[in-house]
Amino acid sequence: MATETADRPRQAVQPAPHASGGEGGERLLFPVGHHVGAQHRVESDEVVEQVRRGATFHDLTSQEYAVWTLAHGSPEAVKNEVPWTRQAVEELARVAGLTAVYEVVDKLMETGLLVEVRPATDEALAFAKAHRVVPLMLGLGNTADEPWLFGIGFLGQPILQVTHPIYDVWQWSSMDDTLWATCLSAVDVASRAKSTDPESTDPTKLFTGFLGSIHALLLGKAACLDIGFRIGAAQSLDDGRED
């Protein structure tokens, strides 16, 4: 685990082992959408937080935004590799003094701003085929001292380090419409490079390992989740791919 200093990333992230626990594991809760800031209404004193999901902008109340933000994870959970679930989010929200949390989570799930995913199931595959990862920072590569770790952040300001499988999916994610397509692209490149690592050449294993590490990327603001869509169609992509 990397320690925080002025010129060192805050943490090192590797594929989360709890994500590969097989069918029947805990369902992880993920926030979907890109926060685009507070919006002050000219005609009133109302202030809302806007989150873009696909081609739609959602106005969130302060309480809705707080719950949506908590779904990104917590430093303690990421550090200790604790699965970030609906229960964990609701408990943390209540500790923070929020009320009617269950109802708020339900509402955000209805609008698609929150989604639950059980790792290593058909539900997880459907999630991968309907959502994408959007990078929000720069890739900084690795170093001679730690060639197995790759930095993400800004020039001269690394935020976190990740292992190569995570970095590979993250760096390819802006090229594809969905997370599953990104995994297929990464696997294709690894196979053509004659890689023998099953974590890099098997799309299911690559995705499963990446899934449990997404909260670290979201919490560090290195990426956000969005639905798979094309602006020309302004609608979600069908996941009718054969691959």
What is the Cα–Cα distance from 115 to 69, expressed in whole angstroms?
13
Token pair belonging to 109: 């799930």
Q: Can you give the C-alpha Rg of the chain in angstroms?
A: 18
Q: Give the pLDDT band of residue 142 (cuts 50, 70, 90).
A: very high
- The residue type at 190: A
DSSP secondary structure code for residue 8 in this structure:
B
Higher pLDDT, 67 or 1: 67
> Which residues, other chains included, contact 219 with Cβ-Cβ below 8 Å and sequence gap of 6+?
72, 73, 74, 75, 78
What is the Cα–Cα distance from 54 to 51, expressed in whole angstroms?
10
Q: Which helix (H) or strand (E) holds 131?
A: strand 131-135
pLDDT tens figures, 82-91: 999 999 999 9
What pTM value is reported for the model? 0.85
pLDDT tens figures, 18-51: 444 445 579 999 999 999 999 887 777 788 899 9
What is the Cα–Cα distance from 121 to 109, expressed in whole angstroms?
19
Q: Note the pLDDT of residue 4.
A: 35
How far is C-alpha 141 from the geometric centre of its chain's CA atoms?
A: 20
Q: Note the pLDDT of residue 12.
A: 60
In order of 163, 228, 241, the CA distances from 89 in angstroms are 27, 25, 33
Q: Note the pLDDT of residue 110.
A: 97
Token pair belonging to 19: 């994500």
